[in-house]
Structure formats: C-alpha cells, structure tokens
Structure 1
Amino acid sequence: MHADRHSMEPWQGRVDPEADSARWHQRIQPLAGDSELGLALLGFASDEGVRRNHGRVGAANGPLAIRKALANLAWHRSGPAYDAGDVVCADGELEAAQARLGSNVCALLDAGHLPIVLGGGHEVAFGSWQGLAGHLGGGQSEQRSPAMAVPRRAAPRIGIINFDAHFDLRDPAHVQSSGTPFAQIAEQCALRGWPFAYACIGVSRASNTRALFQRAAELQVLVREDRDISEASLASLGADLDRFIAGCDAVYLTIDIDVLPACEAPGVSAPAARGVSLALLEPLLERIRDSGKLRLADLAELNPEHDIDNRTARLAARLIHLLSLTG
C-alpha cells in the first residue's frame, strides 16, 4: 500500500511509572510490509465532499485530531495496532483520492488487517467501500462502467451499517459529495449484480427530505430514526441488527459523528439538534464489533475547527478504543 503521507509525530502522551500502564502512543507502530496481523488506522484527509455538499469545511484535519486524542488513551488490546498513514485529497480531486483510499484499504484487507479509516468528510465511505469490494470481489476496488460489471467471484453480500443523521443517498448525477456515497455504492452494486444491503441508524426526519426517505424505501434500507432510539428500544434494535448481519457475508461499519447530539459532538460538519447519545450508541457498536463479521470501519465528519475543548475528537477516539477491543 502507498499512503500519501505518514508521520508518527502525533503519537505523544503521558508515560506512567506503574507496571502495565501503557497508553496508545506507547504501543502503536508504523505499518510495515511484514507487520503481524492487527488493527490498522488509515487517515482520509478530505473535506472536498463536504465543500461540494455546502457544509462546514474543516474535516480534512480530522485524522490528525483523532490521533492526538487517541494517543493518550489507556491501552487494553492484546493484539498490535498500526498507523498506516494518510490518503490526502488535494486540489479538489476527490474521485482520485477515493480511488487511492480504496486501493490502500484493499491492500490492508488482503494482508489480513482490520482497517479503521479516520475521516474526513463522509465521502470517505465510497472510498472505504471500494476497498472492501476489491478485497471480496477479486480486485475490483476501482469504479466500474456497465461494460465492466461482471464480478470475478460470486456476488458478496456486504452489509453497510451507517450510524448517521443523514441517509447520504442524494443523486450523484448532479455532483458527487459527502451526501452521495451510499447512492454511489448502490449504483456500483447494481452494475456488478451485487445485492445492496444498507442500514441507516439515527436518521433525523428533519434533516432528510421526503425524496430521500422514498429513495431509502426503494432501496429497502433498514431505517431507524433518532427519535425511536432509546434505552427501552435497544434490545429490539439490537435484534434487528443481528438479523441484518446474519444475512451478510461481511460488515462495513461507518459512523458519521454527527449522529451524536451537538452537546456531545459539537465539532462536526452538521451538528445534530437531537441525535443519538453515546450511551445508546456504544452497546450497538459492541454488538457489531463482536458479530464476527466486521471487516472494515470508518469515522467521518469530525471538524476540529468547530470543536470545543477537543470534545468531539475525544469522543471519536473513544469510539476507536471501543472498536479496538477485539484482540
């Protein structure tokens, strides 16, 4: 794999004198070709999709902010973790950056790692998915035309679970942006003859038009709105996710941090008036993590320029810490 840039400089923090008191900055290593299988963090420094979607830019600095917040967290893994560098979207060339991200994600998966991609705007999702599709579909990490739509292997069923206030199903024919990745994925699945399995959890009805809800219905998206997620509904929602996962070969988890309330996550491109609290989100993420089918995860929309006391970066770091507790 070939990241656009790589630095271990963000991995600094406290060193405690007691035994068995390691923190992330003391354990994470730069990725090498002969690295033992482990967790691999890959940044996607882009907010071009957010700019095209008329959002608050600044998410390109998200990967750095997440690393700095994660560096000082306590280490509880038994397996290794690596920093695989950043893919950088420069000069507005989003599609090229997404293709490079897909190639890097595919390489990580081919090597046996569990990639967690640090966004960046939610345009990260189309690049992340390209990488998983390439890994499962026999080298098809790049976008295909109809003439090239015949898969080399039996069609994999990739289950996409998106925790998000938005569907991100806007029509990409107008402009490809942070608001279109799952519509783009649906198009690619149709071209390849693959099933499109998409669950969007935490949707805000106030932030999605009737046209988007209709599009989600046409694509048979599993939809759960923010107002329907509570302590009382967690067991039922967990059972729904279990059934969704059971019907998939592999799971791609994507978390748009704007699914959380603005009071918990102020530093995002589109703050949520209501949102789904971290206390409700964590048990659902643990369920997905422990399903045995999670192959890829990413976090999107952290915007450090609008954060308060690094609150959102710390939250994102905690989510990665939770997902990392697999080995």
Structure 2
Amino acid sequence: MQHHISLIGVPTDIGAGARGASMGPEALRVAGIRSVLESHGLDVLDRGNLSGPPNPWLAPAEGYRHLAEVVEWNQTLHEAVRAELAQARMPIVLGGDHCLGLGSISAVARHCRETGKKLRVLWLDAHADFNTAALTPSGNIHGMPVALLCGHGPAPLTGIGGTTPAIDAGVVRQIGIRSVDAGEKRLVHEAGLEVFDMRYIDEMGMRHTMEQALMGMDHNTHLHVSFDVDFLDPEIAPGVGTTVPGGPTYREAQLCMEMIADTGRLASLDVMELNPALDVRNRTAELAVDLIESLFGKSTLMRKTAPRA
C-alpha cells in the first residue's frame, strides 16, 4: 500500500439533488482525517480544495443538470488525481457529490493504462449510479457516474480522460446496493456489472461478499475504492442527501474496510456525498474518518492470525 497520501478537497454539490455536499471536505478535515492517517505513520499532504464553477441550481437541460459545470469540475479533478498518481502518491478525494467519481476514476483508469496495471473498482454505495438521462427525470448527474464511466452518456462526460469508455464494466464490484430504478436495473444487467446488493450481504455475510469482490487481484492490481457515505445505514450515518434504510451496520462496514486493508492493494480512494447540513454534530464525518482509518491499518483483530474456517 502507498504510504504517501494526498488529500484533494472538491467542494461542490453540482451533480446532486440537494445542497450541502460542497461542505463535505471541510467536515472531514474537522473530523481529523489528516491527523488520523498520520497517526499510522503515513506521509499526508493536504492539497487544499480544487476550484470550479458555482452551483447555478437550474432545471435539467436535455436530460442533464449542470452539464457544463459537471464537466469542468470533473476535468479539474481528473488532472489533479493524475498528477498525484504520477508522483507515486495516493490520492484521497474528499467530495463533494458522487458525480466526481467520473473525474477520479477516469484518471485512475488512465494511469493504469499508461503503467500496465490492472484496475479493480469497489463502488460502496446504496445506489448503482447507472442512470442515464433517458432513465431519470431529475437529470442529477450524481446518479450516473458508473454509466458514464462505462460509456453511456454525452461525449463531454464519457470522454473525460481521452478514452471512451473510460473503464470496462467488468472491473467494477458494487457493494451495499439497495436502491435501483427499474430501467437502471435493466441497464446494469445488460452491462454485466457485478453487484453485491444488500440481500446478497444479508444472505451470505460481509466476509463472503468481500472475498468475492476482491477475488482475482494480484500484485499488479490498482485497487480504487469509491466510498459513498450513503453506503452506510442512515441510523449510523444520517449526514447524506439520499438516505436509504437497510444499509451495512457499523461492524459490517468495519469488516469491509479491514478486508480491503488486508489486501495491501488500495491505491486511490474517493469519499463522497457527505452532507454536513443534514448531519448531527459531525457524527457522519467522524464515522467516515473512523472507517477510512480501518482502510489504513486500524484493526479490531487481536488474534495473531484471522480464522479461516
């Protein structure tokens, strides 16, 4: 795992249906993300916040809200993530809404193509984010980034990074999904996306889920985690704009993060959709930082070896 980390704040809710995710980066800083990571012996640089257009809060135009502004924010993020990877640093993107996964993951995919690495994306989310303008009347692009990364959508968005599609659907593993529109579900199946929804987790358990999601990785795999805070059950993480009941518990989420850490392959991370305006005393940000710490070595494991029976 990379020991040189760069925090990149992206203070925008340009792709969302509710205001407030623009304050997410500061809430994560207030919750101590830098000092927590440094306590594990990591070299952490906070690059501050990227700049981009303000949110005009307009109705959709031709099926997309704020298309030009979303393109600009994601292009800026794409270049910032590429720059960190080129310096052999691990970018941690502090969102911001999840439309930003487009800029972040397209940059990671580009880096993998240029360096001959295999890519694996873990998409931790309540939503599949595989909508298109034809499927959603809202036009909110934070419900579309996975579809856009897989080439479904307008060229200004699908072409960020210079290659369309930016990724093959086969590199993605979605975990915690529990809210998918009917048309979106059809598109997900057609694309061949691998989805471990909450029913799967309920039936098989988080350990088996993560074993399946992480299967097939090797020393040449770049593991990217895109963590939408609404992945978590809203009982423990109320500070998001799109709460969906029935998400992973605290312990399930911890196990998920610890098993990712065990691979030693984590190379880039998004933390998205934290909305302090809807939070209670920064509780959700503190929980997010707690879980991020588990990605970097904090463990509940007291035994010398984990049981494998």
For this structure pair, what is the TM-score category when the shorter chain's length is used for normalisation? 0.7 to 0.9
Structure 1, unpaired ranges of 5+: 1-35, 139-152
Distance 1:280 1:252 in 2: 20
Task: Provide the residue aligned with 1:147 in structure 2.
Answer: none
CA spacing shift, 1:232–1:158, aligned 2, 3 Å: closer
Flag the 1:164–1:90 CA change in 2: closer, same or farther, 3 A: same
Asked if 1:203 is matched to 2:177, the reply is yes
Alpha-carbon contact 1:171-1:183 (below 8 Å) kept = yes
Are 1:97 and 2:101 counterparts?
Answer: no
Matched residue, 1:160: 121
Query: Which deviations, in whole Å up to 9, do the C-alpha atoms of 1:85-113 show, x marking residues without a partner?
Result: 11233234221111110101011011011
The alpha-carbon deviation at position 192 of structure 1 amounts to 5.3
Q: Secondary structure at the match of 1:41?
A: strand
**For the structure 1 residues 244 and 87, does the alpha-carbon distance in structure 2 shift closer, same or farther, using more than 3 Å as the test?**
farther
Does the aligned pair in 1 maintain the 2:96–2:272 contact within 8 Å?
yes
Indicate the residue corresponding to 1:67 in structure 2: 29
Query: How far does residue 228 in structure 1 lie from its aligned partner after superposition?
Result: 3.1
Q: Corresponding residue for 1:312?
A: 284
Superposition deviation, residue 322 in structure 1? 2.1
Is residue 200–residue 222 contact of structure 1 (8 Å, CA) maintained in 2?
yes
* Counterpart in the other structure of 2:249: 277
* C-alpha deviation, 1:211, in angstroms: 1.7
- 2:87 counterpart (111, 119, 129): 111
Asked if the contact 2:125–2:231 (Cα under 8 Å) also holds between the matched residues in 1, the reply is yes
- Partner residue in 2 for 1:57: 19
Amino acid at match of 2:46: D
Give runs of aligned pairs for residues 44-193 of structure 1, distance below 5 A.
44-50=10-16, 55-70=17-32, 73=36, 75-92=38-55, 93-138=69-114, 157-171=118-132, 175=139, 177-187=141-151, 188=158, 191=164
The two structures, once aligned, show a CA RMSD in angstroms of: 2.7
Structure 1 pair 131/255, CA: closer, same or farther in 2 (3 Å)?
same
Given that residues 62 and 118 in structure 1 are in contact (C-alpha distance below 8 angstroms), is that contact kept between their aligned partners in structure 2?
Answer: yes
TM-score, structure 2 as length reference: 0.79
Task: Tell me, yes or no, if the aligned pair for 1:62 and 1:303 is still in contact at 8 Å.
Answer: yes
User: After the TM superposition, which residues 239-278 of structure 1 pair with which residues of structure 2 at under 5 Å, given as runs?
Assistant: 239-243=211-215, 245-246=217-218, 249-278=221-250
Instruction: Give the residue type in structure 1 aligned to 2:260.
Output: I
Return the alpha-carbon distance in structure 1 between the equivalents of residues 281 and 204 of structure 2.
32
> What is the Cα deviation at residue 130 of structure 1?
2.2
Q: Residues of 1 paired with 2:37 and 2:168: CA distance?
A: 40
CA deviation map 1:212-241 (0-9, x unaligned): 222111122111122332496123212202
Extract unaligned runs of 5+ from structure 2: 56-68, 152-157, 299-309
Are the equivalent residues in 2 in contact too, given 1:117–1:299 (CA < 8 A)?
yes
The separation in 1 between residues aligned to 2:47 and 2:36, in whole angstroms, is 19
Q: 313-322 or 84-93: which moved more?
A: 84-93
- 1:309/1:61 CA distance change after superposition, 3 Å: same
* Structure 1 residues 247 and 219, CA gap change in structure 2 (3 angstroms): farther
Corresponding residue of 1:150: none
Q: CA deviation at 1:80?
A: 1.2
Point out the more displaced range, 169-178 or 295-304: 169-178
Distance 2:85 2:227 in 1: 19
Distance 1:232 1:297 in 2: 26
Q: For residues 304 and 194 of structure 1, what CA distance do their matches in structure 2 show? A: 31
Query: Contact between 2:28 and 2:289, CA under 8 Å: does it hold in 1?
Result: yes
Give the direction of change, closer, same or farther, for the CA distance of 1:74–1:224 in structure 2 (3 Å limit): closer
